[in-house]
Structure 1
Amino acid sequence: MAEAAAKTVWKISQGHLECPICCCLFKDPKMLDCLHSFCLKCLEEMMSKQKPGAEKITCPVCRRETQVPDGGLQSLSSSFFLSSLVDEVKQQEEVLGEASIPTATCDCGEGKEVIWRCLDCSDNFCQECRKAHGRFKSTKGHQIISLGDWQESKMPPAEHIKPITRMCTTHTDHPLCLYCDTCDTLICSMCAAFDHRSAEHNFLKIDDTIGSFRLDVDIILQKFEKCRQRFKSTENSIERARNRLQKKLAQARSDISAQEEAEIAKIRKKAKLLTKNVDKIGQERDSEYEKVLMHNRDQMERADQTIRAVKDLMSQADDFDLLELKPKVMHNLEFHKELNFKPANHGPSFIGVKCQDVVSDADLGEVCVSEKWQFKEVFGEECFGDVEFQGARGVACFRNGDIVVKDTELDRLSLISSTGQFKASVPQGADCHELEAPWGVAVTDDDLLFVTDKKKVKVFDIELQFVREFTPSVDDAEGLLESKLRGIAVDKQRVAVTDIGRGVISVHNLDGSLIASISNNMVDVDDDFAISNTDRLIFTNHGEERLLCVDFKGNALFNVMTLLNGEQARPSGVLCDDDGSIYVKVETDEYEGDVVQKYDSNGAFIATVAQGLYSALGIAFTPTGDVVVAGKISVKIFERV
């Protein structure tokens, strides 16, 4: 038992009671403005090494500066709670036989009984020495309490029988009983009657003040937690951008190599030069991301240091100490207003290569430093191919490049090849394997086509053969509105469905078993949505002109207005990339055509990546990363450049 207690005492002293400078138990600890404490002697040695006449001392932990008081380092605030804890550790060590038994007589050599304790010096005094201690200019402001009160104060807080009586430094025979909010200082009744009697002084009971103080600190600490969450979200976004950059760099090198092989004899040297250029840009951009990360981490580390110091202070100091330190604590907690997390800039995360035939001294290609999509081909328009659309709205793509198109006017689900040739359609009818009124379409990574059809979700294979079906909502439950399924989205493991009849979004395993059901009346007929690989649902609200995001519990993560040229614009189709980026189709007037905008995973606008879509509704990714757009009478494909 004794050995275990000794280990506990040593663990406490290591964690809280060692001076960061000398690594020994605190001796006369003094607190700097940053709330870090050090032995007075250690601070004096630090100060002696500075230039003569220096008015500030730098904290060796956080590097923040503290103005040295007129009375010198001795006048800095004393860490009474640390002194008390050090004395407690020493007392426990004495009980365990690890220290000599302290003398009960004063050190003055007169053999007089010790009856007083100086909290600033951590020394015991007899009555005569106590009077002498109060006469010296450097020590007359020290806090002195009776030895009995001090011994009681060293018990754990839960075992306190009565609070410590702290005496006023000005009126030494009067206890501190009030707090002057105007002067931010503890006062006694005599101070209140004479020194703080004017109308501008507002003093309160200590209990009332400490309660309000603790509440203010709790509120600010909660704000710090929100800062921490923003930091984490920004850091994740930056990491995803960096990962995307690496993928794009790899793809760029691959494109360069392909072109290099086609022009082997002429272009090998130019290919190396271009690769070097790509790598240089990639390294420069990655270096910028690293700088942003380090800046944000440094900001958070500084905030964490302040929080740790405040939390230690709030949990270990008594009420008197806290109120004496209130100005410094609140000043330090103002630090959260200075936190400035640099956001993730996703623009530089894109890098590609636009290759070209090389003749004479022409370059192999050029580095594309921003993401854009260019028109590639169109199906259905001007009788191109053998397909015709009247209301192409929903699209999805299989791994072989085949495209599924939902035509709301023809009420038809068609399969066309990557060259625009009609291949098959799902029959319409009352049979369970047929479709009655299909709406939303989505294809999984293993080529399963999910279709919303009135109250059911039906599943087909790559040849549009029926596989299975499931019902997202329990039908005909008393008091429930009629189910009306519309949008659908899938990822590698899940499928999500919007039910505009009942105002819910349900998330299922691919076999149809329910994972979560979210009440949400923001989704309408004209809206689309997607599943992010970070367990989020991103959807558009066409009528309210907003882009929204919720988690699988229905908690709103962001809700932003979609704008185009500074004006509100109506969103419809939405996609999520592997790196968490969000692509949204936004409507404009008929002359300019619709556009596709890119947002980061936190809903912040990045750039417009495609224009001139005209009456576009649904959008989907092809296996090669191109984008398929359903535009009523046509299906267009845009490739990234």
Structure 2
Amino acid sequence: MAEATAKTMLGEISQGHLECPICFCRYKDPKILDCLHTFCLNCLDGMLSKQQPSTGKITCPVCRKETPVPDAGLPGLLDCFFLSSLVDEINQQERSLETQQQAATSPTCDDCEEGLEAVSRCLDCEGYLCQLCKTAHKRSKRTQTHRVTPVEHLEQKEVPSTDLSKTYSPKCQKHANQEMHFYCETCKMMKCGTCATIDHRSADHQLSEITDAVKSYRQEVNDVMQKFQKSKEEFKANEESVEQARNRLQIMVTQACSDIQAKKEEEIAKIERKSQLLIDNVTEIGKKRDDEFVKVHTNNKKKMEQAEEIEATVTDLMKQADDFELLNLKPKVMHNLEFQKDLKFERVKHGDSFIGVKCQDVVSDKDLGEILHGGKWKLKTEFGKRGDGDGEFNCAMGIACFSNGDIAANDVKNKRVSVFTSTGNLKANFDLNAPYGIAVTSDDVLLAHCEDHVKVFDTSHQLISKFNLPQADSKDQSCSLTYTGGVTVDNKNQVAVVYKKTGVTSLHNLDGSLIKVIPNTEMVPIDIVANNKGCLIFAMFGRSELRCVDLNGKELFNVSTSADGKDAKPTGVCCDDEGDIYVTLHCGRRGGSSEVRHYDSKGVYVDCVAKPLHWPWGITFSPSGELVVADQNSVKIFHRV
């Protein structure tokens, strides 16, 4: 049983690693092409005979890359000594197992028809012999020199194994008795001492000892591999960006179709045909754009798969081949690693993920609506002015929305929070010294970040509780703003708060109990928001950057914020349902030069939503998907058109 299992395992190893991709048999005289793929010499010869003989190149059947045929023909290609040795070892082990199995079953003579028990085995003929046939075998001129071994000796005989760790030491082709000790970087060739002294001693030739050359070579490969790891990370981020764009596109397509359907139901009698036509147009555009997104993803994935194949081949080679074989293959390996220089991934046109519809009243000669190919924002409503009276602001900074569309604005200099309807009518004022942050839960509970504690108000805006923030030693922070910190609520009703005196972010339950202090978030942001995946995004005013971390403190991205090629300071941040980020930016020292910018969920800039604004601070989404901005002396509401 053990011998059968061992033989099966050897077969699996052979099939998985030691079979030529052309003939599907074990390698015979394996040769390596420039792309690092290996094939039998005879298989390559058969392929070359079917190709155009005048090209002087052979095309790899796996990756379709071409390799120049050496002047000496295909035998001049580099040998794969490691595979040759491994094939020999597998063959020997299988022969050993076969011999043991045959010995265990009392073999009979292979030369005569009497079926007599075998007493010997001819190693050259690979056949068993009875006593009579053994005598005849020894007397025959043709077989008298063959190696004949008693059967009982076969059970004790161990087939010698090939030492795969043995270093291959090639001899110099010009000086046959001398081993290679030097590598000429200029000529990309190994040389013996005599060649190095006679032909490669000029200043034009860069010589080094074999061990030093291999060390440098391995380091060079390692550097490329490390860069490739960064490319992998870039590919992953790009892949997620494509997926997000596709999801957003599908949501927008669905919403657009829903709007069309609603209009259709209003005038069902006269617009049935045109409404369906418009739905089809929207769906077709969505499909074409989605096909483009898929194309970008497919192209990027193909590049990555090709790159990973090269990486895997080179990595295996680095692990398994000896120093001399590595140096023989260095030009080919480094040529294949040049893919890293041109490994660039396509980016999707994020603007194409938006699609909407502008419906209109239909008469007999008009279409039902107009397809909007890009998202544009327009100021819908503005209310408030500078002052201390009801409905006025001295410094509107924090902003939040309730589920019914009401808006809460935090006026930090008047030390109060005011609640307005979505059209700007004042509903309530209550005194509150909130240095900056306010937030509203999904159940319309209002949270206000007040110095070293957070106050909690019910739906009637009555104080129901408060909880203190974790104390810690004060830290010297880079942001000099008085109103810093922030509070946000994630989709699990967990409250994240930044304590402005320490810059430490803590996570609480709604009752104020501490869940954890999030590590690696020692900072003083001016605003904070939780995205749809529960990660935290910080608007870093003093550093002109957005930083995103998960709830374990791992940084997911850190991007600089700028406008017109100059640093712009983020003052407020919010996220939509798809995780895209919207930021208010101060782009200059004077009011009137600020704007709202849109970034995707990975921090990649998409477009400018609104400008110019006066001094925008807090920003949030209303339940109907409108952007609400606290612009210091007023509240501005923007909607898509």
TM-score interval w.r.t. the shorter chain? 0.7 to 0.9
1:614 aligns with 2:622: no
1:63 aligns with 2:64: yes
Where does 1:109-508 land on structure 2 (aligned, <5 Å)?
154-155=162-163, 157=165, 163-381=167-385, 387-426=391-430, 428=431, 435-437=432-434, 439-473=436-470, 475=471, 486-493=485-492, 494-508=494-508
> Which residue identity is paired with 2:357?
V
Q: Secondary structure at the match of 1:61?
A: coil
Deviation of 1:80 after TM superposition, in Å, equals 0.8
Say if 1:606 and 1:324 are closer, same or farther in 2 by CA, change over 3 A.
Answer: same
Say if 1:112 and 1:200 are closer, same or farther in 2 by CA, change over 3 A.
Answer: farther
| 1:136 matched residue in structure 2 | none
Distance in structure 2 (CA, Å) of the matches to 1:554 and 1:219: 29
Deviation of 1:563 after TM superposition, in Å, equals 2.9
Deviates more, 1:50-59 or 1:481-490: 481-490
Distance in structure 2 (CA, Å) of the matches to 1:345 and 1:610: 20
Deviation of 1:412 after TM superposition, in Å, equals 0.9
Distance in structure 1 (CA, Å) of the matches to 2:229 and 2:510: 36
Where does 1:580-591 land on structure 2 (aligned, <5 Å)?
580-588=579-587
| 1:595 matched residue in structure 2 | 595
* CA offsets 1:182-225 (integer angstroms, 9 cap, x no match): 22222222222323233322322222222221122112111111
Distance in structure 1 (CA, Å) of the matches to 2:4 and 2:613: 78
Q: Secondary structure at the match of 1:394?
A: strand
Distance in structure 2 (CA, Å) of the matches to 1:111 and 1:286: 77
Q: Secondary structure at the match of 1:571?
A: strand
Where does 1:8-157 land on structure 2 (aligned, <5 Å)?
8-97=9-98, 154-155=162-163, 157=165
> Which residue identity is paired with 2:262?
A
Distance in structure 1 (CA, Å) of the matches to 2:3 and 2:318: 30
> Which residue identity is paired with 1:455?
D
CA contact (8 A) 2:85 2:164 kept: no
> Which residue identity is paired with 1:58?
T
Say if 1:480 and 1:232 are closer, same or farther in 2 by CA, change over 3 A.
Answer: closer
Deviation of 1:61 after TM superposition, in Å, equals 1.3
> Which residue identity is paired with 1:464?
H
Say if 1:436 and 1:571 are closer, same or farther in 2 by CA, change over 3 A.
Answer: closer
Q: Secondary structure at the match of 1:25?
A: coil
Deviation of 1:348 after TM superposition, in Å, equals 0.2
CA contact (8 A) 1:347 1:371 kept: yes
CA contact (8 A) 1:380 1:386 kept: no
Deviation of 1:418 after TM superposition, in Å, equals 2.7
Distance in structure 2 (CA, Å) of the matches to 1:5 and 1:79: 26
CA contact (8 A) 2:506 2:514 kept: no
Q: Percent identity?
A: 47
Distance in structure 1 (CA, Å) of the matches to 2:566 and 2:269: 53
CA contact (8 A) 2:14 2:90 kept: yes
Distance in structure 2 (CA, Å) of the matches to 1:233 and 1:531: 19
CA contact (8 A) 1:500 1:521 kept: no
Deviates more, 1:269-278 or 1:507-516: 507-516
Distance in structure 2 (CA, Å) of the matches to 1:510 and 1:9: 62
> Which residue identity is paired with 1:630?
A
Q: Secondary structure at the match of 1:611?
A: strand
Distance in structure 2 (CA, Å) of the matches to 1:373 and 1:479: 42
CA contact (8 A) 1:386 1:420 kept: no
Number of aligned residue pairs:
586
* CA offsets 1:470-524 (integer angstroms, 9 cap, x no match): 3332x2x567789997211222123322223113233445554334424456535
Deviation of 1:575 after TM superposition, in Å, equals 1.5
Distance in structure 2 (CA, Å) of the matches to 1:323 and 1:204: 12
Say if 1:227 and 1:625 are closer, same or farther in 2 by CA, change over 3 A.
Answer: same
Deviation of 1:296 after TM superposition, in Å, equals 0.4
Q: Secondary structure at the match of 1:299?
A: helix
Q: Secondary structure at the match of 1:401?
A: coil
Distance in structure 1 (CA, Å) of the matches to 2:625 and 2:233: 32
Distance in structure 1 (CA, Å) of the matches to 2:325 and 2:238: 38
Deviation of 1:171 after TM superposition, in Å, equals 1.7
> Which residue identity is paired with 2:634?
S
| 2:139 matched residue in structure 1 | none
CA contact (8 A) 1:27 1:39 kept: yes
CA contact (8 A) 2:183 2:209 kept: yes
Say if 1:579 and 1:308 are closer, same or farther in 2 by CA, change over 3 A.
Answer: same
Deviates more, 1:410-419 or 1:226-235: 410-419
> Which residue identity is paired with 1:397?
C
* CA offsets 1:112-156 (integer angstroms, 9 cap, x no match): 999xxxxxxxxxxxxxxxxxxxxxxxxxxxxxxxxxxx977x335
Distance in structure 1 (CA, Å) of the matches to 2:5 and 2:247: 49
* CA offsets 1:582-619 (integer angstroms, 9 cap, x no match): 11112356675532111123322211122343322111
Say if 1:436 and 1:616 are closer, same or farther in 2 by CA, change over 3 A.
Answer: closer
> Which residue identity is paired with 2:283?
D
Deviates more, 1:533-542 or 1:607-616: 533-542
Q: Secondary structure at the match of 1:35?
A: coil
Distance in structure 2 (CA, Å) of the matches to 1:418 and 1:111: 108
> Which residue identity is paired with 1:541?
M
Say if 1:21 and 1:461 are closer, same or farther in 2 by CA, change over 3 A.
Answer: farther
Deviation of 1:299 after TM superposition, in Å, equals 0.7
Say if 1:251 and 1:484 are closer, same or farther in 2 by CA, change over 3 A.
Answer: closer
* CA offsets 1:509-548 (integer angstroms, 9 cap, x no match): 5554334424456535xx2232233454322233443333
Say if 1:587 and 1:62 are closer, same or farther in 2 by CA, change over 3 A.
Answer: same
* CA offsets 1:260-312 (integer angstroms, 9 cap, x no match): 22222332222122212212221111111111111101110110111111112
> Which residue identity is paired with 1:182?
T
Distance in structure 1 (CA, Å) of the matches to 2:210 and 2:504: 53
Distance in structure 2 (CA, Å) of the matches to 1:198 and 1:276: 74
CA contact (8 A) 1:452 1:485 kept: no
Q: Secondary structure at the match of 2:53?
A: coil
Deviation of 1:321 after TM superposition, in Å, equals 0.7
CA contact (8 A) 1:503 1:519 kept: no
CA contact (8 A) 1:457 1:472 kept: yes
| 2:637 matched residue in structure 1 | 637
CA contact (8 A) 1:30 1:77 kept: yes
| 2:567 matched residue in structure 1 | 568
Q: Secondary structure at the match of 2:331?
A: helix
Distance in structure 1 (CA, Å) of the matches to 2:267 and 2:301: 47
Q: Secondary structure at the match of 1:486?
A: coil
Deviates more, 1:247-256 or 1:84-93: 84-93
Deviates more, 1:461-470 or 1:20-29: 461-470
Say if 1:578 and 1:7 are closer, same or farther in 2 by CA, change over 3 A.
Answer: farther
* CA offsets 1:382-421 (integer angstroms, 9 cap, x no match): 99x9733332211111222122211112211233333433
Say if 1:196 and 1:11 are closer, same or farther in 2 by CA, change over 3 A.
Answer: same
Say if 1:25 and 1:267 are closer, same or farther in 2 by CA, change over 3 A.
Answer: same
Q: CA RMSD, aligned part only?
A: 3.1
Distance in structure 2 (CA, Å) of the matches to 1:594 and 1:479: 32
